[in-house]
Structure 1
Amino acid sequence: MSTDHRPARRMVLLAALALAGCAGAGDKATAPTARADFADIPYADWSDYEPPYRFYPGDELEIALPSAPELNKTLTVQPDGRVAPGLTPPVMAADRTIAEVQAALAESFSTVLLRPDVYVTAKAAPLKVFVGGEVGNPGIYDMAGDADALRAVVQAGDFKPTADRSRVIIIRRGPDGVGMMRRANLLRGLRSSSADLVPLRRFDIVYVPRSGVAALGIVVQQYFRDLSPIGFSYALGDQPR
């Protein structure tokens, strides 16, 4: 059985995207959504869409098999994106929803069990977000409890003096894996309780551009459109077929 290394490679691409320094930034638009400014980039309109829970390497999940309770156990998603039930070959879990992992495990267990029903429960996992651009320590951060874009920036070492705090970019996986992009004015967040702080979801990207440069579109194209072959999947692997 061959090993699929694409999940690891794609996570490297995503992490690099989040950690990348800013080559240029800023235009004069101040609307909350950036799609109109970058019509040639295939982003979906921003909405309050709540992405389904997807597993990530390091996550833990519990599996329960009513017909074979002795096989119940807690599994950890490995760096290659797979979980190893033990009795059957490893199954891809990364970037799959709970229902998709249940189906994959049931299919795997069908080779050894007459009733391979499997129930998967995700154990508590941190809110993992990617923070990049003009912040002190770009990186991947686990946020405790509810989080917003300003808290993510502060956790990443706060804004650099060169940051454009008024046009911070938020990227989120939308329906069908298509990325949604909008801007947030976090400058107001330092001064007003009614600021546009943007509550974050798991795997959101918070990108702080540099102020004083007039080519934000170039930055977005460089770091996002060039990765369009992966369909803006946060993907640690292809979607199950």
Structure 2
Amino acid sequence: MSFDRRLFLTLMGSAALAGCGAASSVRRDPIAHDPGFPEIEFANWTDAEPEYLLYPGDEIEIATPTASELTRTLRVGPDGRVALPLVGQVMAADRTLAELESDVSTAYASQLRRPAVEVTLRQAGPIRVWVDGEVRTPGVYEMVGDIDATQAVIMAGGVLPTARSAQAALIRRGPGGVRMIRPIDLRPRRGEAVAVRRGDIVFVPRSTLGELAAFFTQVRSALPIGFSYAIGGGNGFASF
């Protein structure tokens, strides 16, 4: 699906004139599947909450009603895995509770006659966002309470003099894991308060958001667990 680059830049310019909106009233920007970068696809923005995905640091209970001695309360490790008796390491991060139940049940199939599994989230772990681009200290930051994109950038030391603060972007994983993008204006007293969620990426370009293509190419193999996204493809989605 093609996207007119001029239309995208027009949207970026108009974002600065949109006024100050509440953090909870996110505008549904008409960002199409391909905002000018053929190698990077973005789904249309939606404010809908996707199904909860497990993250490193989450505390979960994995119960086996038919073999209660195997029930464990575990914390998802930094590598996204949990260690289970009999079967060893199982990937938990970026899985829904139902998906992890299915994975563990399959893993136990060779060990148990009736491998029923129930996974419960006991306590969510740290909530982190990634700030990159023209900021003083790019990296992954832990959120303390509810914050907006401007506050996330402040946590990263603020923008550099070379930053194009009026043409920043918020990248978020939407339903189904697809990437969504919306332009945001980070200029003091001119931008709007845009709330960030767990796993969001705030990107501040030097010139235009065309830099996003290079950004995603560079970090494709280095995205931390919990920041993986999916790109639309002809036969479904591929993680990235």
CA distance in 2, matches of 1:196, 1:111: 54
CA distance in 2, matches of 1:228, 1:75: 29
Corresponding residue for 1:89?
88
Q: 1:120, CA displacement in angstroms? A: 1.4
Q: 1:101, CA displacement in angstroms? A: 0.6
Corresponding residue for 1:199?
195
Give the aligned CA root-mean-square deviation in angstroms: 3.2
Corresponding residue for 1:12?
none
With the length of structure 2 as denominator, give the TM-score of the two structures.
Answer: 0.72
Q: 1:171, CA displacement in angstroms? A: 0.5
- 1:160-211: CA deviations, max 9, x gaps? 2322222211111123322111111121xx326xx5222112211001122x
Secondary structure of the corresponding residue to residue 165 of structure 2: coil
CA distance in 2, matches of 1:182, 1:226: 21
Corresponding residue for 2:133?
133
Q: 1:124, CA displacement in angstroms? A: 1.8
Which is helix-richer, 1 or 2? Answer: 1
Amino acid at match of 1:220: L
Secondary structure of the corresponding residue to residue 90 of structure 1: strand
Corresponding residue for 2:66?
67
Secondary structure of the corresponding residue to residue 35 of structure 1: coil
Aligned residues with identical type, % of pairs? 44
- Structure of greater relative contact order (alpha carbons < 8 Å, 6+ residues apart): 1
Amino acid at match of 2:89: P
| Mapping for residues 207-226 of structure 1, pairs under 5 Å | 207-210=203-206, 213=207, 215-217=208-210, 219-224=211-216
CA distance in 2, matches of 1:205, 1:216: 13
Secondary structure of the corresponding residue to residue 135 of structure 2: coil
- Moved >4 Å (runs of 4+): 31-34, 225-229, 236-240
Unaligned runs of 5+ in 1: 1-25
The answer to whether the 8 Å contact 2:134/2:160 transfers is: yes
Q: Using a 3 Å threshold, how does the CA distance of structure 1 residues 31 and 179 change in structure 2: closer, same or farther?
A: farther
The answer to whether the 8 Å contact 1:95/1:236 transfers is: no
The answer to whether the 8 Å contact 2:173/2:229 transfers is: no
Q: Using a 3 Å threshold, how does the CA distance of structure 1 residues 82 and 114 change in structure 2: closer, same or farther?
A: same
Q: Which of residues 31, 38, 45 in structure 2 aligns to 1:35?
A: 31
The answer to whether the 8 Å contact 1:94/1:236 transfers is: no
Secondary structure of the corresponding residue to residue 91 of structure 1: strand
Secondary structure of the corresponding residue to residue 13 of structure 2: coil
1:172 lines up with 2:144 in the alignment: no
Which is strand-richer, 1 or 2? Answer: 2
Secondary structure of the corresponding residue to residue 107 of structure 1: helix
With the length of structure 1 as denominator, give the TM-score of the two structures.
Answer: 0.72
- 1:101-143: CA deviations, max 9, x gaps? 1111122223223332222122222221100112221110110
Q: Using a 3 Å threshold, how does the CA distance of structure 1 residues 169 and 96 change in structure 2: closer, same or farther?
A: same
